Structure 1
Amino acid sequence: MDELPIGRRVAYWRGRRKMSQQVFADRLGKSKSWVDKVERGVRRLDKFSVVYEIADVLQVDVQLLLGKDVERRPETQNCIDQVEVEEIRAALERYDQMSAFFQAVPHSPPLAEMHKAVSHAWLTYQHAKYGVLARMLPKLLRDAQAADSAYATGADAKDAAHLLGQVYQIASSALRKVGEHELSWLAADRSIAVSQRAGDQLLAGLASFRVGSALLALGRVRPALEVNVNIANRLAPVHEPAHRGERLSVYGMLLLNGAMAAARIGDSATVRDLLCGAEQASLELGGDFNHYWTSFGPTNVQLHRCAAAVELGDGRAAVDTHEKIDVVGFNALLPERRAHHFLDIARGYTQIGNIEKASEMLLEGDRLAPSEIRCRPLAHEVLSDVLRRTRGTPPAPIAELAEQMGVGV
């Protein structure tokens, strides 16, 4: 996009932000005609002050509007910035698989190397190293797509498809964390199709879980609830000893995700039923495991009880559940899960007016996994709420965190 005129870049980012020309003009204090002329190149943008104002309204780095490389500040190194999002988007927009239909793929990484790279990417995500993950994802996507094409007709076809399905899921999860919900949905949807080719019902079930998460983030709550519950019903564990732990884990996560969707629409009865079903699955599983990268087990069910209570607006129930969570089980979870929970409980404490404890939870999450707090739009909202409701000068640690996150005190 660097070669485009600045007006076209403005139009592109306005479209990405889903703003009409009229809404964009109103926020700038300009006329719709002025915006139209700028985007068509009829009117020049020759004042830096106006360019900076446009960048502010569009919430992009001004260097992107100017067609220059964005200078990455040290404090953003562990987050996914706009340049990296666009690189991931470009990788998702590739359709090399169609080219492979007509001619052989010239190069593909060995599948053994791909297995190692995909496992490393999962662990990077579960340790909430989102900046590191963002920098590896574009190449990983391209390599996985190339492998899927290269091995499409051989004995390794299902293995290659399985790897690509996982990479799409990793990308979907990471993109959702930073608010790129449409892209997250696209990646998750791709994973469903690829997972079916891989012949793995559990991978396809997890892809449905990612689709449900993306739909929920997009505000499409009822479709999110339906996809999670429908696929969970199809994966309900039967009396089959083979892969029972993996099936229980994927089934349980679908129920937990369904519970979060039900909580979003205030359906407490469905929340209770789905959480009970997930709890039963976790007890049958017999502990906390990371089958299929789910981190599913009794502890994760308790974390979701807290999160669902927060979504229902019952901060007191969330805090009460939080205080009863098994400490040993909680500390054994990977950093992303624990920091995510601290963010949920910070929201719960704000609901009951305990701003001091909410601050403590944000700081604890930041200590454990900084990217989970500093990179997520939701965390910015919670911190803004905490600052707004803090009487007098905020405590130094919270003020410092706000400054580092760019949240106004």
Structure 2
Amino acid sequence: MSRDMERGIGQRVAEERKLAGWTQPRLAQEANVSVSLVRAVEQGRAPASPAFVSSVAKAFKTSPAEILGQPYPRTTRDETEVSSGIALIRSELAAYDIPPAGLRPRSIAEIAADVERMRTLRRASSLRQMSQDLPVLMTEVRALVHSEQGGNLQRAYRLLCEMYLCARGLAHKLGYTDLMTVAIERLGWAAAFTGSRLWVTSAQYFRASILTSTGDWNTALVYLERCRTELESELASDDIEHLVSWGGLHLQSGLAAARAGDRDTADAHLAEARETAARVGDPNYHEPVFYFGPTNVGIWSVGLAVEMLDGTEGINRARNLPVPASTPKSRAGHLYIDLARGFLLHGDRAKTLDALNTARKTAPIQTRYHPMVHETVRVLARQEARSTESLRGFAAWCGVGQ
């Protein structure tokens, strides 16, 4: 295990603070958080939430990835394989509008079948397979865009959007935030040529997520409000693309509001998304860009409560939440990661570890690389007078030094 993996968020915050020559009260003032929270996070007594991380990073004029220590060092063959495609994906994103020299793509039907397989891998958080297969397929879809015309050209751009969404998901889960940002920019570029409301909204949704993750919550809320204005005239219809777009944008607004500490606004956006999800139902159409429906809104409701540091409310929201077998593993895994955070805030350490283990079984690689999992494990270990064998085993599995 590398030295950087042994350091948690609290240690990095303390180091950055000392390098800046700041006291804990000065950091609290600059980041607009409480002094007690700064102390608790630095001492490992309280978990650092994403809102805390982005606020502190903004105060230090650095990125959340620096505070989180991402991307994590590759110290095993397994980790090297999971990240094996990153360099090629980076090159592919740079070449986005250039025809690949000498490459004649297969038929659009053959390529679409492989893109569907990649979409399935993305929803299942099969990161290793994605990393190995995505770069070559991205290049072929780029060639397809430069060889098709008419209606097939729009279809080719939709396939390219899926490639960028897969690249974004892989980069996000492995902690390559710079690459994630480029993938979202490319998604916005390609979406404009698809003729699809959902793909345009997808680009807007993920653009707002960058603003939210960097602590620019008010800008994210203003931008999302502007995006929803484009949809309002179509809401009376039952057009599924407009409804899913509307609901997805409200969920992203709820996250921005939750991280800004505005519970009333977060709950209002959640209520709007829930009402829209009731009209849509859980996805049963072939190509949803967003996995949006009552189940996903329920998963989000747990996460939003935890983002507002109300673990008890998150637990209550999860209590009667059905998770059908058809739920993508990435979403179900996220639910249990958030639920573990909720149990930790609630003070139930045994159930915290239970939820982490469920997340591990559901979406193992996603769980292993999730920074909030690492943070939860560190704080859980700190709170235990004597760490259990199961906790030590979980910590070793996800590369966390206690």
Q: Is TM (by shorter chain) over 0.5?
A: yes
Choose from 210, 220, 242 the match for 2:216.
220
> Contact 1:130 / 1:371 at 8 angstroms: preserved in 2?
yes
> Contact 1:330 / 1:338 at 8 angstroms: preserved in 2?
no
Give the corresponding residue for 1:377.
371
Give the corresponding residue for 1:92.
93
The answer to whether structure 1 residue 150 and structure 2 residue 143 are counterparts is no
Give the corresponding residue for 1:262.
257
How far has the Cα of 1:314 moved from its partner?
A: 1.0
The separation in 1 between residues aligned to 2:384 and 2:223, in whole angstroms, is 40
Pick which of 281-290 and 371-380 moved more: 281-290
Choose from 231, 235, 238 the match for 1:235.
231
Give the corresponding residue for 1:16.
none
Write the letter of the residue equivalent to 2:256: A
Q: What do you get for the CA RMSD once the two structures are aligned?
A: 2.6
- Greater RCO (Cα-Cα under 8 Å, separation 6 or more): 2
When residues 342 and 383 of structure 1 are mapped into structure 2, their CA distance, relative to the original with a 3 A threshold, is: same
Give the corresponding residue for 1:351.
345
How far has the Cα of 1:132 moved from its partner?
A: 1.1
How far has the Cα of 1:318 moved from its partner?
A: 0.7
Which residues in structure 2 correspond to 1:110-125 (within 5 Å)? 110-125=107-122
The separation in 2 between residues aligned to 1:149 and 1:59, in whole angstroms, is 33
Q: Secondary structure at the match of 2:192?
A: helix
Give the corresponding residue for 2:394.
401
Q: How many residues align?
A: 335
The separation in 2 between residues aligned to 1:106 and 1:175, in whole angstroms, is 26
TM-score by length of 2: 0.76
> Contact 2:217 / 2:256 at 8 angstroms: preserved in 1?
yes
Which residues in structure 2 correspond to 1:96-175 (within 5 Å)? 97-98=97-98, 106-151=103-148, 153-175=149-171
> Contact 1:181 / 1:217 at 8 angstroms: preserved in 2?
no
The separation in 1 between residues aligned to 2:301 and 2:72, in whole angstroms, is 36
How far has the Cα of 1:248 moved from its partner?
A: 1.8
When residues 287 and 71 of structure 1 are mapped into structure 2, their CA distance, relative to the original with a 3 A threshold, is: closer
TM-score by length of 1: 0.75
> Contact 2:217 / 2:259 at 8 angstroms: preserved in 1?
yes
Choose from 251, 256, 274 the match for 2:269.
274
The separation in 1 between residues aligned to 2:70 and 2:347, in whole angstroms, is 33
The separation in 2 between residues aligned to 1:99 and 1:132, in whole angstroms, is 26
The separation in 2 between residues aligned to 1:174 and 1:106, in whole angstroms, is 25
Q: Deviations over 1:335-377 (max 9, x none)?
A: 1111100001111111122121111100011011111211222
Give the corresponding residue for 1:181.
177
How far has the Cα of 1:235 moved from its partner?
A: 2.5
Give the corresponding residue for 1:204.
200
The separation in 1 between residues aligned to 2:283 and 2:308, in whole angstroms, is 26
Give the corresponding residue for 1:73.
77
Give the corresponding residue for 1:7.
none
The answer to whether structure 1 residue 342 and structure 2 residue 336 are counterparts is yes
Q: Deviations over 1:161-200 (max 9, x none)?
A: 1111121122112211222222112111211121111121
Q: Secondary structure at the match of 1:393?
A: coil
When residues 230 and 58 of structure 1 are mapped into structure 2, their CA distance, relative to the original with a 3 A threshold, is: closer
Q: Which has the larger radius of gyration?
A: 1
> Contact 1:126 / 1:336 at 8 angstroms: preserved in 2?
yes
The separation in 2 between residues aligned to 1:80 and 1:234, in whole angstroms, is 39
> Contact 1:289 / 1:296 at 8 angstroms: preserved in 2?
no
How far has the Cα of 1:289 moved from its partner?
A: 4.3
The answer to whether structure 1 residue 195 and structure 2 residue 191 are counterparts is yes
Choose from 299, 303, 306 the match for 1:303.
299
**Residue segments in structure 1 that go unaligned for 5+ positions in a row:** 1-22, 27-56, 62-69
> Contact 2:199 / 2:289 at 8 angstroms: preserved in 1?
no
> Contact 2:99 / 2:143 at 8 angstroms: preserved in 1?
no
> Contact 1:176 / 1:184 at 8 angstroms: preserved in 2?
yes
The answer to whether structure 1 residue 284 and structure 2 residue 286 are counterparts is no
The answer to whether structure 1 residue 366 and structure 2 residue 360 are counterparts is yes
Write the letter of the residue equivalent to 1:407: V
> Contact 2:93 / 2:186 at 8 angstroms: preserved in 1?
no
> Contact 2:254 / 2:265 at 8 angstroms: preserved in 1?
yes
The separation in 1 between residues aligned to 2:236 and 2:88, in whole angstroms, is 45
The separation in 2 between residues aligned to 1:184 and 1:138, in whole angstroms, is 15
How far has the Cα of 1:58 moved from its partner?
A: 9.6
The separation in 1 between residues aligned to 2:357 and 2:103, in whole angstroms, is 49
